[in-house]
Amino acid sequence: GSACAPQLILPLPFLEAKGVKLGAIAIKAPEPESRPTLLRLFANRVSMGFEDVDSVVPTQELALTDAQLESGEPIMLEYRYFQKVTSLTLFFDRPDDDEAERTVISLLRLYGEV
């Protein structure tokens, strides 16, 4: 992407050696013009860069709605794919908006168990 692309990668390693089970994710993004519309989740993939997000198949891909991002309501994940997660990489994008310069989220919450 360009220097001003609305793409954001968040790598989240978990300290629990045997991994965690994830069931849902909640995201808040207050400003409509900088909200992500796409989230790709990659479980147990380390050192993901922007060059990897299109060539690696995501564990799950979510289309994010304004309602979800305004309320921060939990978004259910495909639970069977998120067992024994030792790291989670989140890739946020706004691929349908050529004018977007940045992605801003104000809250990220993961729901699961150790």
Q: Which phi and psi angles does 85 have, rounded to 5°?
A: -85, 120
Return the domain boundaries, the chain.
Answer: 8-113
- 11-63 pLDDT, tens digit per residue, is 999 998 899 999 999 999 999 989 999 999 999 998 899 999 999 999 999 99
- Cα–Cα distance, 83 to 43 (Å, whole number): 9
**pLDDT value for 3:** 56
State both tokens at 38.
């796409």
- 77-107 pLDDT, tens digit per residue, is 999 999 999 999 999 998 888 787 889 999 9
> What is the topology classification, in CATH, of domain 8-113?
Jelly Rolls (2.60.120)
Residue 67 has, within 13 A of its CA and on its CB side, a CA count of 1
In our burial notation (b when 16+ CB lie closer than 10 A, e otherwise), range 39-65 reads: bbbbbeeeebeeeebeeeebbbebebe
pTM for this model (two decimals): 0.91
